[in-house]
Amino acid sequence: MRDSTTDYPLSIAAWLVTIAALLSGPLGFVTSLHEGQPAWRDARSYFEHAHRLQQLPFWFGFLLIVSCVFLVARLASLGFEHHRTRAFIAIVAIAVYAALISINYALQVAYIPALVAARDDVLAYVTMTNPTAPTWVLEMFGYAVLGLATAILAPAITGHGARRRLIRGLLRANGAISVVGALITAIDLGWVQTPVGLASFVGWNVLMIVAMAMIGFEYIPLPGDSAREATQ
């Protein structure tokens, strides 16, 4: 049985993150199978296999950015009364996340097509097909900051039920996994496209989608919720 407290905006934000994560993550994998790039060799090889569909996951990535900002802003507002310092830190963190990831995705959808058209070898330093491109630094550290924001705001998920405790645990786990990913990137940038890196990518997506779907279900008002809360 659910805890009685519900919050429609938080539920909507969580469902938006769920949808955006599904579109930008798994869609990227499907796209790579259909119109993707082979294993990175050099810019010339990239030019030969370039296709506009390869930018599609990054366009959905912008939806993920907006959804995550909405989610963290709502969690911060819910936790503000009892966790003001946490709320302020999380707001700053989500702003950093949005800036880093927006820059990266803007490069992917706007700058890379221009580099392909010009057959410019600078592409090697921008495309995320190259596991050692600096844009992976933006990606991994940006999502580490998002993970910190969700972990910091885990106490905003109030309630003593098993679902609420699990959601708080998942948000904290997201923070830990994201930070560890960034630290490994600082040691070995190319790890992101190794089997371990790809497994971590899948694991992060599953964790994030499960956590967001649970929040979306847990906080959406159901028939009888308003009456039940009014009697408490």
224: left (phi over 0), alpha (psi -120 to 50) or beta: left
Contact in structure between 143 and 177 (CB atoms under 8 Å): no
What is the C-alpha separation between 214 and 166, in angstroms, rounded? 9
Tell which residue, 156, 157, 152, has the closest CA to residue 172. Answer: 152
For residue 158, the tally of other CB atoms under 10 A from its CB is 12
Rounded percentage of the chain residues whose pLDDT exceeds 90: 74
Task: Give the chain's residues under pLDDT 50.
Answer: 1, 227-232
DSSP annotation of 109: I
Question: CA separation (Å) from 2 to 6, 57, 160, 220?
Answer: 9, 34, 10, 11
Question: CA separation (Å) from 81 to 68, 85, 170, 212?
Answer: 21, 10, 23, 23
Query: What local confidence, expressed as pLDDT, does residue 226 receive?
Result: 52
What is the C-alpha separation between 87 and 16, in angstroms, rounded? 21
3: left (phi over 0), alpha (psi -120 to 50) or beta: beta
Query: What local confidence, expressed as pLDDT, does residue 224 receive?
Result: 58
What is the C-alpha separation between 140 and 186, in angstroms, rounded? 9
DSSP annotation of 184: H
Within a 13 Å sphere around the CA of 65, how many CA atoms are in the beta-carbon half?
20
Handedness of CA 74, 75, 76, 78 (dihedral sign): positive
Amino acid at 190: G
Query: What local confidence, expressed as pLDDT, does residue 176 receive?
Result: 96
Query: What local confidence, expressed as pLDDT, does residue 81 receive?
Result: 79
Burial class (CB in 10 A: 0-12, 13-18, 19+), 160: exposed
